[in-house]
């Protein structure tokens, strides 16, 4: 489907597509879909040729899958493979696209703003820069559950005063669910304070503290690569992470992608924006169902679908075609 056809088809729907970020990867992802749809392996071959190594092998074997520089291009490619399967099967074009962290790049590829080849090269570099920005073991991330946003910010500020680095809110994922990132000692301190204040804290198994000021050196280098990459405004609007808004020009889009490395992911506001625009159905286009599960908690969302297996894909295709009035 051409960019113009996608744009026209998307305008009348009440569906949004969500693309997951790092953490959704799993060994063997998309194996079942690849058996049924040749476009899956074709998409992985296209992306592998762009970055110069075998992304499908990493996805299926798990070798190096959790190294950030590999995780990011593999996940992006998996999401775009699923997007292509969806379109090939006659799935409707969504009205909006949004991606969580790394998933923003998947959304931009789906919206024809960046080519798949350019995007996988960008996120491979993004992963390398993020990995090298903070020495192994010095950074950390943790999920804080059961406290409101203001309280999480307050707990971070209390330990930051001690002058031992910084810890910040990195992902506003949902009401009562905020991920923090920063220097490991300070993340640990906020986790302890969280428990003292009646919340729950879960350390995340990541090697890089994303979306915090520790990533500013990486962002400065990454901005240069972004400037050299061909980018257009997407044919389907993409809601960007740092401001939960749609860029009206390419310069603003690039700036938001750079800032995304060291600023918070505004996922709660992104979901509110989609609800305010009348979105009723959401499809998670990537491995797993993390974003679909978050979307199911929203008051105005009637259905949220993961599509990472053939049965899930078919269920979502049929349900949304019926809901959108495309078939009886």
Same domain (yes/no): 178, 226: no
pLDDT tens digits in sequence order for the chain, 328 residues long: 565 655 554 455 899 999 999 889 999 999 999 999 999 999 999 999 999 999 999 999 999 998 889 999 999 999 999 999 999 999 999 999 999 999 999 999 999 999 999 999 999 999 999 999 998 889 999 999 999 999 999 999 999 976 667 999 999 999 999 999 999 999 999 999 999 999 999 999 887 899 999 999 999 999 999 999 999 999 999 999 999 999 999 999 999 999 999 999 999 999 999 999 999 999 999 999 999 999 998 988 999 999 999 999 999 999 998 888 876 5
Quick check: is 328 in a domain? no
Of 112, 123, 104, the residue nearest 208 (C-alpha): 123
Count the residues in the chain. 328
Same domain (yes/no): 107, 30: yes
pLDDT score, position 253 = 96
SS3 sequence, the chain? CCHHHHHHHHCCCCEEEEECCCCCCCCCCCHHHHHHCHHHHHHHHHHHHHHCCCHHHHHHHCCCCCCHHHHHHHHHHHHHHHHHHHHHCCCCCCCEEEECCCHHHHHHHHCCCCCHHHHHHHHHHHHHHHHHHCCCCCEEEEEEECCCHHHHHHHHHHHHCCCCCCEEEEEEEECCEEEEEEEHHHHHHHHHHHHHCCCEEEECCCCCCCCCHHHHHHHHHHHHHHHCCCCCCCCCCEECCCCCCECCCHHHHHHHHHHCCCCCEEHHHHHHHHHHCCCCEEEECCCCCHHHHHHHCCCCCCEEEECCCHHHHHHHHHHHHHHCCCCC
Same domain (yes/no): 144, 291: no
Task: Say how far apart CA 9 and CA 1 lie, in whole Å.
Answer: 10
What domain count does the chain have?
2
Quick check: is 246 in a domain? yes
Same domain (yes/no): 317, 264: yes
Q: What is the CATH number of the domain that holds 94?
A: 3.40.366.10
Residues of the domain holding 111: 3-133+214-323
pLDDT score, position 135 = 87
Same domain (yes/no): 249, 294: yes
Same domain (yes/no): 192, 296: no
CA–CA distances in Å: residue 133 to residues 41, 254, 262, 306: 33, 20, 11, 33
Same domain (yes/no): 268, 285: yes
Same domain (yes/no): 121, 195: no
Pick from 206, 237, 252: which residue ends a domain?
206
Catalytic residues: 101, 211
Same domain (yes/no): 114, 34: yes
Quick check: is 263 in a domain? yes
How far the first Cα of the chain sits from its last, in Å, is 24
């Amino acid at each position: 489907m051409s960019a113009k056809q996608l744009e026209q088809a998307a305008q009348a729907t009440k569906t949004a597509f969500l693309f997951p970020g790092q953490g959704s990867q799993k060994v063997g992802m998309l194996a079942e879909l690849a058996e049924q749809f040749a476009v899956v392996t074709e998409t992985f071959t296209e992306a592998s040729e762009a970055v110069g190594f075998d992304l499908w092998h990493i996805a299926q074997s798990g070798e190096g899958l959790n190294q950030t520089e590999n995780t990011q291009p593999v996940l992006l490619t998996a999401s775009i493979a699923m997007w292509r399967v969806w379109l090939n099967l006659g799935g409707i074009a969504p009205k909006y696209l949004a991606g969580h962290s790394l998933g923003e790049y998947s959304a931009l590829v789906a919206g024809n703003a960046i080519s798949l080849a350019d995007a996988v090269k960008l996120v491979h570099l993004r992963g390398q820069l993020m990995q090298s920005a903070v020495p192994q073991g010095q950074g950390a991330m943790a999920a804080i559950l059961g406290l409101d946003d203001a309280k999480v910010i307050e707990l971070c500020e209390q330990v930051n005063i001690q002058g031992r680095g910084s810890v910040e809110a990195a992902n506003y994922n949902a009401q009562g669910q905020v991920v923090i990132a920063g220097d490991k000692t300070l993340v640990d301190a906020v986790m302890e304070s969280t428990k003292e204040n009646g919340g729950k804290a879960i350390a995340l198994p990541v090697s890089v503290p994303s979306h915090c000021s520790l990533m500013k050196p990486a962002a400065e280098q990454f901005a240069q690569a972004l400037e050299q990459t061909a980018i257009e405004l997407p044919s389907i609007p993409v809601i960007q992470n740092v401001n939960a808004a749609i860029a009206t020009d390419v310069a603003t889009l690039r700036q938001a992608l750079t800032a995304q490395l060291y600023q918070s992911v505004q996922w709660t506001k992104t979901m509110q924006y989609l609800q305010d625009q009348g979105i009723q159905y959401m499809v998670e286009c990537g491995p797993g169902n993390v974003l679909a599960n978050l979307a199911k908690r929203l008051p105005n969302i009637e259905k949220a679908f993961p599509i990472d297996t053939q049965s899930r894909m078919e269920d979502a295709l049929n349900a949304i075609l019926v809901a959108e009035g495309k078939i009886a």
